[in-house]
Chain A
Amino acid sequence: MRSVSNTTRIALYLYGLLILLVLYLPLVSVGFASVSKARYLSFPVNRYTSEWMVQAVTSPNVHALVLTSLKIAVLVTLLSMLLGFFGALAFARFQWKYRPLFQKLILLPIFFPQTVLGLALLIWFSALGVQPSWKTAVIAHLVWIAPITTLIIAIRAYGFDPALEEAARDMGASTLTILREVTLPLLMPGVISAGLFAFLLSWGNFPLSLFTSGLDSTLPKWLYARMVSGYTPQIPALGVLSVAGSAALMLIGIGLVRWMRRRA
């Protein structure tokens, strides 16, 4: 039985479409701006060029930015997969005394304003005498991203049957063997999607990098600095490329997860 009238139903669908349109409208603007020939952007765009894109792809400055962002994102991905895997076992699988407390502690950094977290870390690093660089940015990203990967893997860990591990133990497998042969393969899809999330969130992160990466600039941080100081066509061109990079990676990741599922 339907609980809403047809008019309401159609209105809700239209509302949903409208919201999706509004959600993606800014990307349309950035896309147009990246191929507009005019030095000073003004709509409607009527002359197009790929000049800015080519400039962005070939600029050594951009290569350095991409390299820094990549370095950070790859390290954050690997470390947060590792931390998240074990964190998820403590979060969802094992019964231990302080588990409820542990679960709540994991949630806090996710809900914490990132700007304030970035500033707090900046003071902390200065107090320790550590010079902020891309390495400190990795730590800052981890504080926010490792709890998120923990949650994603925990959802998977809640779903599997502990009897599988107990059976392995009854047959004499050591804790390490069980971890490698039973737990890890079962949680693998969760670990992969957590890694994908980690990479994308680190690649696009701006508030944490802003304060903690010191003189090493990441792509979002550099874009922000340019946005605040005035418009140049390089900004939308790089923005589009950065989004395209995320999109490509996402497709690869989704393909990988589907391929693993088919094999399993």
Chain B
Amino acid sequence: MQRLESRLGFLSGLPILILLLLAFIMPLFVVAGFAIMPQKVFELTHLPDFSSFAVIWEQGYYRSLLRSLGLAFLTTVILFIVCWPLAYGMAKVFGRFTIVITLAVVLILFVSENIRLFGWSLSLMKGGLIEGYLRSWTGLSFETPLYDWPVIVFGMAYVYFPFMLFPLAQGISLVPDDARLAASDLGASPARILFEIEMPLAAPGIMVGSLLTFVLSAGAVAEAKLLGGRSVVVLTDDVESAFTFAQNWPLGSALSLMLIGIVALLVLVPVSRVNLDAIMGRKR
């Protein structure tokens, strides 16, 4: 029986394992391989050198990496602050309204992100939905916030909002009401309850939500293009142009590899610790 189960387990996992091996693991190795090839070659047969990393350093490509990470960090912090009250409401206050919010937020995920971002550029442009109606109703006007870095952060916060909201709501639902009431009876201020009771107890949710939004926004490309115009160059822009216009695969690979390394460091540590059976509700 035991042996049969272990054979069946392996067999049923096999198809997706093969897929991931061939189309996820191997490509990553190829990227790593190209990252240490000389500039502008298209085969992996050359002698490895580390010229790509020298180019990244000398020609300042590391700046777009830092910029991407900075924007991603800012997005994460803003999303945490914006999502916390709503997640709190969903976990503790709303009741049936939680279902409405959950459905509405999931449904918007099915609309292609570039259509939604395009909608924002129509809303925010001069003579767009917001400025246009404001002007015709009140005569007031404002300069468009498009084509600058804050609007990129806004766009990323908008697109990755669900990835912070749901883990956070899950985390907050782990905070027992008794713990908060006890602290409040003992005279703790709301701020103290927030920082010393709720946030530590909701830490798993905070952790997952922050990692997800950080990783996804560090690798984002459409926000900077559609809302930022060409005013801000993020890492993925550099990677894309290295692969397309510049035809320099080793440089593009080395840039991707740096991002992949950071993602791997951030994701592997927490993922290796969690017990998925416990989270997803195993019965036995």
Within 8 A of B (CB), among A102-125: 102-109, 111-117, 119-124
Interchain CB contact (< 8 A) of A13 among B42, B89, B120 = B89
Please, how many residues of chain A have a CB less than 8 angstroms from a CB on the other chain? 101
On whether the beta carbons of A124 and B93 are closer than 8 Å, the reply is no
Residue of B nearest to A102 (CB): B13
Binds A, one of B15-23, B46-54, B59-67, B145-153: B15-23
Say if the beta carbon of B219 comes within 8 Å of chain A.
Answer: yes
Chain A 83-109: CB-based contact to B (< 8 A → 1; otherwise 0): 110110111111111111011111111
Residue of B nearest to A3 (CB): B177
Say if the beta carbon of A192 comes within 8 Å of chain B.
Answer: no
Which A residues are CB-close (under 8 A) to B132?
42-44
Which A residues are CB-close (under 8 A) to B131?
43
- Mark A residues whose CB is within 8 Å of B: 3-4, 8-9, 12-13, 15-16, 19-20, 22-30, 32-33, 41-44, 82-84, 86-87, 89-100, 102-109, 111-117, 119-124, 126-127, 139-140, 142-143, 146-147, 150-151, 154-155, 158-159, 161-162, 175, 200-201, 203-207, 210, 219-220, 223-224, 227-228, 235-236, 239, 242-243, 246, 250
Given contacts A102-B17, A207-B222, 14 further A-B contacts (CB under 8 A): A3-B177, A19-B82, A19-B101, A27-B111, A96-B6, A97-B6, A99-B9, A102-B13, A111-B215, A114-B219, A124-B26, A124-B30, A158-B282, A210-B221
**Cβ contacts A to B, 6 pairs, < 8 Å:** A3-B177, A15-B86, A30-B115, A83-B19, A92-B280, A116-B236
- Mark B residues whose CB is within 8 Å of A: 2, 4-10, 12-17, 19-20, 23-24, 26-28, 30-31, 34, 42, 44, 82, 85-86, 88-89, 92-94, 97, 101, 104-105, 107-108, 110-120, 122-123, 127-129, 131-133, 136, 158, 161, 177, 180-181, 211-212, 215-216, 218-222, 225-226, 236, 239-240, 243, 249, 252-253, 256, 259-260, 263, 267, 271-272, 276-277, 280-284
